[in-house]
Amino acid sequence: MADGGVPGVEDVTRLGSWLADNGIPAGDGPPVVQLIGGGRSNLTYRLDLGPGRAPLVLRRPPLGHVLPTAHDMAREYRVLTALDGTAVPVPRPVALCQDPSIVGAPFYLMDYVDGAVLRTSEDADMLAPGQAGLLSQRFVEMLARIHGLDVGPVGLAGFGKPEGYLERQLARWQRQWELSVTREMPGYDDLTHRLAAGLPAVSAAAPPGGLVHGDYRLDNMLIVPGDEPRISAVVDWEMSTLGDPLADLGLALVYWTNPGEPDWLALAASVTTAPGFATREQLTAQYAQITGRDLSRIGYYMAFGCFKLAVVLEGIHARFLQRKTVGEGFEREGPAVPVLIERAHQLLDAER
């Protein structure tokens, strides 16, 4: 490994040469590269370019077990380019590199944005209960803002097809499961059959589909704390497309643990259990009030979110078994998969 390199960006000298060739000065030597931990899919690094120069962030695919159509750097870069300067705050995109020889895979660069990532109950200590309540509101408002974005003027009109979105997603994630699965999984086949049989009917009176983030959760945003906490950027757009916004909401509610409730997913101590955070029911009611959408099938959408997350985590578990993960905590992903499948069945049972 070259001096200053880390797994995924081993040759920083080559990266420094690429930066210079593309008009991105990196000071007197190669950049200092540091892995930004916490992510479970694409790898994210901070690049320090020398005194007086603002740092940048590099994003690249994981080291192994990259599934077809997944981890498309150009697609994620397109979303950031489209959203830059809109009411949805994102890091400013800087450059896209499709040449895998520079760091071992295609990558893109974006501005480094100040803000805290809230992931655990310890992270929540910076928030008083009133601030946690305000942040809960901002969380829902931002999701509604994403879903209400006029995609045409920003260049995302052809970014996906909202019609038939859930049916295509169900088929897509089943294919990804077949490419990722590492073991027998009780309840999985039955779950896919139930999800297919229960697909929500499309109403002509329903609001049209829109931009969906694909993995909307509190720790996929940067938070500036204070008397009135604000969201400085929404990040990790790798699964974004045009589709059914309620799938975004359903997955967000899967991630959100109610105050006083145990973290049933057991991936980490949930920040949203801290005093002052809204409940899932309150988030749902606020979203309905802002958007006017019919949320009578939200239980189905949460079950679908459990299914999708189970597939994602099984893929990460496969990379972990191959020793292709970078960072800590990946041993938790595998045990969460059967829990998610059981939870999905419970949600479908409750909907009946």
Quote the pLDDT of residue 224.
Answer: 95
Residue-by-residue DSSP string for 171-239: HHHHHHHHHH--S--TTHHHHHHHHHHTPPPPPTTSPPPEEE-SS--GGGEEEE-SSS-EEEEE---TT
Quote the pLDDT of residue 343.
Answer: 94
Cα–Cα distance for residue pair 264/117, rounded to 1 Å:
21
Q: Is the dihedral of CA 125, 266, 238, 152 positive or negative?
A: negative
Residue-by-residue DSSP string for 3-50: TT-BTTB--HHHHHHHHHHTT---TTSPPEEEE-TT-SSSEEEEEE-S
Query: Where is 271: in which H helix or E strand?
Result: none
Quote the pLDDT of residue 315.
Answer: 87
C-beta atoms surrounding 69 within 10 Å: 10
* 352 CB-side CA count, 13 A: 9
Which among 266, 261, 290 is positioned nearest to 277, based on CA atoms? Answer: 261
Do 93 and 76 contact (CB within 8 A), yes or no? no
Region(s) of the chain under CATH 3.30.200.20: 12-111
* Three-class secondary structure of residue 303 per DSSP: helix
Cα–Cα distance for residue pair 201/162, rounded to 1 Å:
14
Do 116 and 261 contact (CB within 8 A), yes or no? no
CATH no. of 123-351: 3.90.1200.10
For the chain, the helix, strand and coil percentages under 3-state DSSP, each to the nearest 5: 40, 10, 45
Which among 121, 136, 215, 113 is positioned nearest to 169, based on CA atoms? Answer: 215
Which among 289, 246, 254 is positioned nearest to 272, based on CA atoms? Answer: 254
Do 115 and 49 contact (CB within 8 A), yes or no? no
Query: Where is 278: in which H helix or E strand?
Result: none
Region(s) of the chain under CATH 3.90.1200.10: 123-351
- Token readout for 66 is 């990259």
Which residues make Cβ contacts (< 8 Å) with residue 120, sequence separation at least 6?
268, 269, 270, 271
Quote the pLDDT of residue 330.
Answer: 64
pLDDT per residue as tens, the chain (352 positions): 445 578 889 899 999 999 999 999 777 778 999 998 765 678 999 999 988 889 999 999 987 555 555 668 999 999 999 999 999 999 999 999 999 999 999 999 999 999 999 988 889 899 999 999 999 999 999 999 999 999 999 999 999 989 999 999 999 999 999 998 889 999 999 999 999 999 998 765 566 789 999 999 999 999 998 889 999 999 999 999 999 999 999 999 999 999 877 766 655 558 899 999 999 999 999 999 999 999 999 999 999 999 999 999 998 888 877 776 666 666 777 888 999 999 999 999 998 7
Domain 12-111 has CATH 3.30.200.20: yes
